[in-house]
Amino acid sequence: MENKSSERVHCLIIGSGPAGYSAAIYTARANLKPVLYQGIQPGGQLTITTEVENYPGYPQGIQGPEMMVDFEKQAVRMGADIRFGLATKVDFSKQPYKVWIDDEKLIEADAVIIATGASAKWLGLESEQRLNGYGVSACAVCDGFFFKGKEVAIIGAGDTAAEEALYLSKLSPRVHMFIRRDTMRASQIMQQRVRETPNIQLYWNTRVEEVLGDPHVEGVRVRNAQNGAEQIVPVKGFFVAIGHEPNSGIFKGWLNMDETGYIQTIPGSSRTNIEGIFAAGDVQDRIYRQAVTAAGSGCMAALDAERWLSMKPKNN
């Protein structure tokens, strides 16, 4: 007799951003009866994004949370079973694959689509979180347009920070770039491009103490780590580019990952090193990290899962 705390499903989707919901829409239309668990942040990173202007099909733009509600409604209309719950443990040693939800319920799935996303790393300042979405952002490509013609600041020293500073330099009269040490981690070519861009002002050995403003960002208070001198830099936007962390911890030891924890997929597909396990969205994309690319990879994962399940003998 089956344990009441366990359930067998055909296709399980873990995560509920653009990748997870797109996978749910496609798998539901293919009659795979997908079950989707939304995770700790239903809707993913877009739920902490205000205006989304670069997603095709929304000529006037749309609020991030509203967009994710639309995605969810569409998935439900197609027949997806959307549930609240967090995947806390997995066992991918044999089929059906086992996933525990909230350390209690066991789901056994013929195929699993992982769309758990990535989380931006933050400085941990109260003011940074208070002004998140009101001038503070972790994505210059997403939000830089809103600060066109205004001075902005960015903190970070890697390739992503350099790329975002260069992007912002095309929109802003001055980009104040705070670097916490006396060197950058970015590749030499990216460092050279930053240094050669006249409207990027570099601040070495600089720590951000506080983001200023209410209700919107008005400036940043910084401190020089060598001499302790403080200064206030007036800006309208503050971008944090100190890295992202893929939400892949529970899959370590099962799936191939790169050195920072992004799940590695077979090029041109969403397939992982375990057949029947697929990954989509920011948990496997360290390069683009956009809503539209996440949605596209969710579609890929759904189609890959459908093809794989259609070739697999059905077990009851």
Among residues 160, 162, 190, the alpha carbon closest in space to that of 177 is found at 162
The one catalytic residue among 11, 91, 110, 139: 139
Catalytic residue among 11, 110, 142, 282: 142
Q: Which residues of 154-187 are buried (b: 16+ CB within 10 A; e: fewer)?
A: bbbbbbbbbbbbbbbbebbebbbbbbbeeebbbe
DSSP secondary structure of 174-188: -EEEE-SSSS--S-H
266 in helix, strand or coil?
coil
Task: Give the residue from 83, 249, 233, 98 showing the smallest Cα distance to 152.
Answer: 233
Establish whether 142 is a catalytic residue: yes
Quick check: helix, strand or coil at residue 69? helix
Catalytic-role residue among 110, 143, 285, 304: 143
Catalytic residue at 143?
A: yes
**What is the rounded distance in angstroms from the CA atom of residue 244 to the CA atom of residue 120?**
4
In the residue annotation, 139 being an active-site residue is answered as yes
Segments in 119-171 forming alpha helices (H): 126-130, 140-143, 159-169
- Residues designated catalytic: 139, 142-143
